[in-house]
A = this chain, B = another copy of it.
Amino acid sequence: MADLATAFSGRPVLITGGLGFIGSNLARRLAALGAQVTIVDSLIPAYGGDLFNIAGIEDRVRVNIADVRDVYGMNYLVQGHEVIFNLAGQVSHLDSMRDPYTDLEINCRSQISILEACREHNAGVKIVYASTRQIYGRPRYLPVDEQHPLEPTDINGVHKLAGEWYYLIYHRVYGLRTVSLRMTNTYGPRMRVKDARQTFIGWWVHQMVSGEELEIFGTGKQLRDLNYVDDVVEALLLAAASPDAEGQVYNLGGDEPISLIDLAKLLVDLNGTGSYRLVPFPPERKRIDIGDFYGDYRKIRDQLGWQPRVSLREGLARTLAFYHQHKEHYW
Chain A residues within CB distance 8 Å of chain B: 97, 100-101, 104, 108-109, 112, 116, 149-150, 152-155, 158-159, 161-162, 165-166, 169, 172-173, 287-288
Docked CA distance A162–B165 (Å): 10
How distant is A327 from chain B, measured CB to nearest CB, in Å?
A: 36
Task: Judge whether A169 and B149 touch: CB under 8 Å.
Answer: no
Q: In the complex, what's the smallest C-beta–C-beta distance from A102 to chain B, in angstroms? A: 11
> Complex: how many Å from CA A116 to CA B169?
29
**A173 contacts B287, C-beta separation under 8 Å:** yes
Are the CB atoms of A101 and B112 closer together than 8 Å?
A: yes
**Given A149-B149, A158-B165, A169-B155, residue A112 in contact with residue B104 (CB < 8 A):** yes
In this complex, the member of A101, A104, A169 whose beta carbon has the largest number of chain B beta carbons within 10 angstroms is A169
22 examples of A-B residue contacts, CB within 8 angstroms: A100-B116, A104-B104, A104-B109, A104-B112, A108-B108, A108-B162, A112-B155, A149-B149, A150-B150, A152-B165, A152-B169, A153-B169, A153-B172, A154-B169, A154-B173, A158-B162, A158-B165, A158-B169, A159-B162, A161-B162, A173-B287, A173-B288
A162 to chain B, nearest CB (A): 5
Secondary structure type dominating chain A contacts: helix
Are B108 and A173 in contact, with the CB atoms below 8 A?
no
**Of B104, B161, B173, the contact of A165 (CB 8 Å cutoff):** B161
* A158 in complex: contacting residue of B100, B101, B166, B172, CB < 8 Å: B166
Distance A150 CA – B168 CA, assembled complex (angstroms): 13
A112 with B97: CB separation less than 8 A: no
Instruction: Say whether B104 contacts A108, CB under 8 Å.
Output: yes
CB distance from A134 to the nearest CB of B (A): 12
Which residues from B are CB-within-8-Å of A97?
A: 173
Q: Tell me the nearest residue of chain B to A109, going by C-beta.
A: B104
User: Would you call B172 and A166 a contact (CB within 8 A)?
Assistant: no
Cα separation A48 to B155 with both chains bound (whole Å): 30
Chain B: CB-nearest residue to A159: B162
For A159, the chain B residues whose CB sits under 8 A away are 162
Q: Which residue of B lies closest to A96 (CB)?
A: B169
Chain B residue at smallest Cβ distance from A115: B100
For A150, list chain B residues within 8 Å (CB): 150
Measured between beta carbons, the chain B residues less than 8 angstroms from A153 are 169, 172-173
Nearest chain B CB to A175's CB is how many angstroms away? Answer: 10
A257 and B297 CA atoms in complex are apart in Å by 40
**Whole-angstrom distance between the Cβ of A141 and the nearest chain B Cβ:** 14
Query: A109 vs B173: C-alpha distance in the bound complex, in angstroms?
Result: 24
CA distance A153 to B171 in the complex (A): 11
Nearest chain-B residue to A175 (Cβ)? B287
Q: Taking CB as reference atom, which chain B residue is nearest A152? A: B165
Cα distance A149–B147 in the bound complex, in angstroms: 9
